[in-house]
Structure 1
Amino acid sequence: MATMWMIRGDGGRLYDDFRERNLAAIGWAQLAPSAKLGVSRSALILAYKDAQPGIKDASAVSGASQVFRFVNEVKEGDAVVTYSPANRTYLVGQFAGPCLYRPELADEGMALVRAVKWLAQEVDRDQLSSVSKNSLGSTLTVFNVSEAAQKELLDLAAGNKIRARPVDPVGDSEVIDDPLKGVQDIAFERIKDQINSLDWSEMQDLVAGILRAMGYKTLVSPAGADRGKDIIASPDGFGFEPPRIVVEVKHRNARMGSSEIRSFLGGRHKDDRGLYVSTGGFTKDALYEGDRANVHLTLWTLDELARTLMAHYQMTDPETKRLVPLSYFYVPA
């Protein structure tokens, strides 16, 4: 089977740029001028240390190693995948060109670029087996995808069913400068998986529980026609005392577009505050629509929902904790 590489674009922020520009890229602008085909790993480590005096040896080795891989080990024709934490989707494609230094894109986090032919079908994270999810949880920017996860991703991106569930995880062999460095990110993805497994009614109750933990009283709409509101949150619980927060909860895989945002805003009073929760994320047009809204509007993806739950978890009531049971643990800062 051909090699598949995971390329994380600034933690997923560059997902849409990768798709729209038909490329995959990494940053490390301080190393990019030295990152020519055939450059040695040791030369990149020295360049990293020269550009960033005082950097820890392990961090220099880890960063230089990932640049080395992107420049020298990735080949035209290799498979590639990238991930959007906000949308919880994977984009699968094939490298279609050599590594190029693009100084004009350095400020965007894309100093080193390779052309990619992306497949049209995105892969929802929930469609993958637990073993594949775990193997894709590395926090490295560039790493080999396990054979089992590669099979699942390629099958799903082609519109096929998963042929077989893997039984043993396959780890990445790259050296990580700190084995605890990725624990928080991996745990966060697991928490999002847990939240996303809730059904729509439970998701609505979770959002209401978070708002109560933030000091509001809530009225939750019954199932059925809600006229653009699922929850009303306010200090008095009736919506008489400001702020009156009107909440819409959309728990589905698809991203919400500008038309859904306009529809939600159309029913709002000028003194309302809007909160639109979409676990499938939002399109760029929807984000633009939200930014220029006359009503104060906050958009929550699954990322924001999970982060807000974690920030207020200790204040949530037992019913909310039952929906998403979490435990605290400490690691060295």
Structure 2
Amino acid sequence: MNVWGVHNDSLTTELVDEGFISVGWDGLPRLDSIPNGRDGLKRALDALYPDAKPRSIAGQAGILARFRDEIAVGDVIVAPYKPDSTINIGIVSGAYYFEASAETHRHRRPVEWKKVGLPRTIFTQSALYEIGSVLTVFRIRNHDEEFLTALGSAASSPEEVSEQVSHAVESQEEEDSDNTPRASRIARHTRDFVLEALHRNITHREFEEFTAALLRALGYQARVTQYSQDGGVDVIAHRDPLGVEPPQIKVQCKHRTGTTSAPEVQQLVGTQGPGELSLFVTLGTYSRDALAIERQRPGLRLLTGEDLVTLVLENYAALPEEWRNVIPLTKVLVVADSVGS
């Protein structure tokens, strides 16, 4: 059993809904109609991209050969899901096929998804760095045990899965097969670091304080309400200094990396009075039913962990020093992804 990483930035929910992984190169015919292995793929790519460099053609042929020939039924797929930066894990259930009716990404392999929406905080930074490969299809060699442990876990919460993964890698040597510090990998590493720091290094009450501080950095007046466990409003924000002019924003904070359900979102909506707005902030994601409420409810905004990280990075300089110490960052120049491709 091999463990493969597959990146897909073109398709989203259909990957899980219809159960497959895919690659682009839509100008090519069915890959199983191209003879002579990798050399045949190179010739087909040469014809499709006559101006491409030989090294680029060889790299593309290698990706397509892995996808068509090397991935086997029963192999494990680790697929980072870009829209909410979670991770899906599944098992390859069939051979390559060509979906002629699809608008894009017609080259596909069927997958039975076993774990969907896993928070990135479950895995070690070095494992996340490995699946940040610039390749579309790649073998996961150094940290495969982490993903296999998550795949086999019967735990119901991300925290329990994370603990099991931590135990599995305690004795495993951590190394990365590709340590090239390219821009996209460093950017992803930074985002993972911010999310990890907010998850591991502060309490729920401090997360409420942090959310208020971030809202102030965005130009709002914000105050934390009296702490309670009743699931009520955690932060109140407004634009005017006194808080007497509408709209008033009621904020609920969930200091966790799991999935927030529709009833939890509906609870916040129930506190929203006339002329008021609602904001839900979490380090994780939301269920489809919860997102449906956001689409149907004016004045409601659901912030995921990835949304929160983006706001932190865009407004980092305006955050108070106490929070910048929790998330220590600095600006650097890095190697562009295009170099050497």
Q: Is the 8 A contact 1:121 1:158 kept in 2?
A: no
CA gap 1:265/1:64 in 2 versus in 1, 3 angstroms: farther
In the other structure, the counterpart of 2:126 is 131
Q: Is the 8 A contact 2:278 2:301 kept in 1?
A: yes
Which of 255, 278, 285 is residue 281 of structure 1 equivalent to? 285
> Displacement of 1:309 after TM fit?
1.0
> Displacement of 1:300 after TM fit?
1.0
* 1:44-102 deviation digits (Å, cap 9, x = unpaired): 45655655676666655544432332112212222222223565543332211111111
Q: Distance in 2 between matches of 1:47 and 1:255?
A: 44
In the other structure, the counterpart of 2:77 is 80
* 1:189-229 deviation digits (Å, cap 9, x = unpaired): 33333333233223222222221111111111232146631
> Displacement of 1:9 after TM fit?
2.7
CA gap 1:84/1:195 in 2 versus in 1, 3 angstroms: farther
* 1:224-265 deviation digits (Å, cap 9, x = unpaired): 146631111112344312332221111223311222222211
Gaps of 5+ in 1: none
Q: How does 1:59-208 map to 2 (within 5 A)?
A: 61-84=58-81, 89-107=86-104, 110-120=105-115, 123-147=118-142, 149-159=143-153, 161=164, 162-165=167-170, 166-171=172-177, 179-197=182-200, 198-208=202-212
Q: Is the 8 A contact 1:248 1:275 kept in 2?
A: yes
Which of 227, 231, 236 is residue 232 of structure 1 equivalent to? 236
Q: Matched residue of 2:250: which SS?
A: strand
> Displacement of 1:327 after TM fit?
0.9
Q: Distance in 1 between matches of 2:8 and 2:121?
A: 21
CA gap 1:104/1:41 in 2 versus in 1, 3 angstroms: same
Q: Is the 8 A contact 1:6 1:82 kept in 2?
A: yes
* 1:273-325 deviation digits (Å, cap 9, x = unpaired): 222112120111211110110x3122111111001111111222212312322
Identity over aligned residues, as a percent? 23
Q: Distance in 1 between matches of 2:319 and 2:272?
A: 28
Amino acid of the structure 2 residue aligned with 1:309: V
Q: Distance in 2 between matches of 1:239 and 1:43?
A: 69
In the other structure, the counterpart of 1:321 is 324
CA gap 1:102/1:199 in 2 versus in 1, 3 angstroms: farther
Amino acid of the structure 2 residue aligned with 1:95: V
Tell me the TM-score normalised to structure 1 length. Answer: 0.83
Amino acid of the structure 1 residue aligned with 2:225: S
User: May I ask how many residue pairs the two structures share in their alignment?
Assistant: 323
Q: Distance in 1 between matches of 2:137 and 2:302?
A: 30
In the other structure, the counterpart of 1:3 is 2
Q: Distance in 2 between matches of 1:225 and 1:265?
A: 17
Q: Is the 8 A contact 2:237 2:250 kept in 1?
A: yes
Q: Is the 8 A contact 1:221 1:231 kept in 2?
A: yes
* 1:115-135 deviation digits (Å, cap 9, x = unpaired): 122325865433333432332
> Displacement of 1:151 after TM fit?
1.7
Deviates more, 1:243-252 or 1:282-291: 243-252
Q: Distance in 2 between matches of 1:85 and 1:199?
A: 27
Q: Is the 8 A contact 1:191 1:306 kept in 2?
A: yes
Deviates more, 1:28-37 or 1:90-99: 28-37
Amino acid of the structure 1 residue aligned with 2:177: G
Q: Is the 8 A contact 1:206 1:323 kept in 2?
A: no
Gaps of 5+ in 2: 155-163, 337-341
Tell me the TM-score normalised to structure 2 length. Answer: 0.81
CA gap 1:269/1:172 in 2 versus in 1, 3 angstroms: same
